[in-house]
Structure 1
């Protein structure tokens, strides 16, 4: 990931086709020892490709990946709200039961 980040920083800085030595030099400025094989592999995979197009393609692919949390609620519709309401009821029942178990609190 650090090699890709360095490559992207170099392209944003105006170097449209960073070489392995450019990536190594950038990483060296922050004290990272670069592995030449990994950088060469990255350069070979990105050779002749437009970074902006790759980012756009990756973003569209990420949009189709399901994620938990808020993204699942709109897709589920009312079912998510019903499930949430049931979970809230169970929490309240569990709280009531734990308060009534002995009839007094720890510091009473």
Structure 2
């Protein structure tokens, strides 16, 4: 992500085709060590593309992914039976157990 952020920073500052030297300068300015392989991969993937379109495509992909949601937990028969017994026992004393 840091390499993509550096690339986007360069583009947003007016450099339409940032190179590895540009990205290294940005990352070095905030104390981040760079890896040439990662920098070159980002440049090769994004160079010549309209950044706004790339971001819009990414947002579309993120929107189609499920986020959060309910977690289904199956309760076994023995667990359900224990809960039923506990409920019955607590109903028998009608709350009087609180005053003992």
Identify whether the pair has TM-score above 0.5, normalized to the shorter chain.
Answer: yes
TM-score in terms of structure 2 length: 0.68
Greater relative CO, 1 or 2 (CA 8 Å, sep 6+): 2
Is the radius of gyration larger for structure 1 or structure 2?
2
User: Deviation of residue 104 (structure 1)?
Assistant: 5.2
- Structure 1 gap ranges (5+): 73-92
Q: Aligned pair 1:27/2:22, yes or no?
A: no
- Partner SS for 2:16: coil
TM-score in terms of structure 1 length: 0.63
Q: Aligned pair 1:43/2:43, yes or no?
A: yes
Write out the 4+ residue segments of structure 1 that deviate beyond 3 Å after TM superposition. Answer: none
**CA deviation map 1:51-96 (0-9, x unaligned):** 1110011111111111124xx7xxxxxxxxxxxxxxxxxxxx98xx
- Partner SS for 2:14: coil
**Root-mean-square deviation (Å):** 2.8
Counterpart Cα distance in 1 of 2:32 and 2:67: 33
Q: Which has the higher helix share?
A: 1
Q: How many pairs were matched up?
A: 80
- Structure 2 gap ranges (5+): 71-85
